[in-house]
Structures are given as structure tokens and as C-alpha cells.
Amino acid sequence: MHEYFLRDHTHQGELAKAFGKLLTELWSSGTNAVAPRVFKKKVDKAAPQFTGHYQHDSHELLLALLTGLHQDSDIVNVFQGQCKSSLVCPVCGETANTYDSFTSLSLPLPSTPTPSISLISCLEEYLAEEPLGPDNMWFCPQCKKQRQANKKLDLWKLPEILMFQLKRFRTSKYFLKKIDAFVDFPVDELDLSKYVENGESCLYELYAVCNHDGGIGLGHYTAYAKMIDDDNEWYCYDDSLVSPVDESEIKSKAAYLLFYRRRVGSESAEVIQAGGSVEEFFLLQTFCCYGTSL
């Protein structure tokens, strides 16, 4: 993917060209750190809500960036999966299915204090069946009546790069609260095969984590990334500082975004089979961590 952006494509839009130039700088030998000011200006133009130097949500910025780059590249296809949403009539069992695309899965965290919870538990809660509210009745075509249907989500197709957002920020009636629960997530093998309805094999490995330390509005973003195509080691990225980190340290209460890539041997592992590198996806995610503070 990075080769695509490093090439000079005259048909590319301003954001894609700026992203390509940023990658050129980052991949140049002897580069210690890069301040993506030109790129940030293009992001501000494409998504004005990020103008200025205030801290913003890294997940919101990444989604906006993917949307902007999608107009001039296939990058979103690497992140894009599909969910099936089912409405089931509680009386006759009539089912209505719709299919929606996603570029990340936003997983709920417990609102009550919890010492530890697994990523799989969060995913199962996200996919759990729940009744629609009484103010959101569904017209059953079989019963010909309004029914309080049950809604169920299923994973239908998973992308090459799978991103999870751990929903640490919750809005109450009067204030915004951060949930500091520890989420235990797999590093070497995340098997989602039994959650995918179409039966495809889905094995993933973790390669990057975006962390948010501190409180709301006053926190600090850092990232961990595994250089899979280089020395296969983990590194910590803290502003302009880069340092090795032991794999045992990457799990913490600060984990906010988790990035997995499909493993070799899993079906449809196009990114890996094509010889592509994952550093470019980490670069994309790194800007989301630091770009708004420049």
C-alpha cells in the first residue's frame, strides 16, 4: 500500500498527495521524526472539525482520514468489513436482514467498576441480541402489526486489517466519563471464526495499539507497534521518541484502539500474501495519535 502512495499519481486529490509526501519523508533514510504540518492542513481542509491544536479523539480522526483517502485509493477496502443486522419478530419469528459496512468495531466496556474483562467478552456484548425500545417499534410484514422486535448483529465479512475501538468515553446526563477498565486482548492469535456467519476462517495477530493516558481533554496519546516486516519487535512511539518495549508491557488500561492483521494461513490474507507491509497502516494510525497536537 505504501508503494501506491509513494508513486506520483496526478489524479490523486490533495489529501492523498500530502499523505504520499508524508510517507516519502518517513521512509527516507536518516529521518528521526517528522512534523506532518502540511498533511494536517489538508486534513483540516477535508475535515474542518479538526482545525486548530486542540486534542481530538484519535478514532474520529482516523475514520475521517480513511474517508478522505478513500476517494483516491483503495485503502478503505483493506479496513472495511461487513455486519449483518437482523430484526426478529417475537411473535411469528419473521426475520428482516440488512447488511452494513464498517471500518472499525466499537466495543462497549462495563459501566460498573471491573478489574478486568476480555476482548472477546466485549465483542460478545456488542453482538448480543437485544429488544428494540417501545419507542422504536418494527412493522412485521408477516403479522401486519407493529412489534417490539429483537435486534441481533452478526459478523458477515471481516477485513484484512481489523480495528477495535474500546469505548472508554461515556456520556452521562451531566458529564463525560472515562472508563479505565483493563481489557485483556490476544496478541499472537485472535480467532474470530465462530463469530463470522459465512464460515470463513478468521485468524488475526495484533500489530499496533493506540493508547490514551490521563483524563478527558487533558490526556496524552502514545502507540505500540510491531515491526513485522523488519525485526519482529515491539516499539513504543511517544511523540518524537521511539524506544523498544517488551511484548508483556503492551497490555494496559490505556489501550484505546487495537489494530489486528489477518494471519498467514487464514483465508483471504491478501495483504500478507501480496508481500505488503503493515508499517503504512501504523503510520496512518500514528498520525491519529499525534497529528492533532502539532
DSSP string covering 119-141: HHHHHHHHH--EEPPTTS-EEET
pLDDT of residue 15: 84
What are the per-10-residue average pLDDT scores of the chain (294 residues)? 52 77 75 80 86 80 83 76 94 94 94 88 95 91 94 93 93 79 95 85 92 83 84 86 92 95 65 42 49 38
pLDDT of residue 279: 46
Q: Is the Cβ–Cβ distance between 55 and 293 less than 8 Å?
A: yes
All three cell numbers of 128, joined, read: 448480543
Global pTM value: 0.85
* Alpha-carbon radius of gyration of the chain: 20
**Phi/psi of residue 202, nearest 5 degrees:** -135, 85
**Could you give the maximum distance between any two Cα atoms of the chain, in Å?**
69
pLDDT of residue 292: 38
Which secondary-structure segment (H or E) carries 5? helix 2-6
pLDDT of residue 12: 63
Domains, in order of start, for the chain: 2-27+35-80+104-113+159-293 (3.90.70.10)
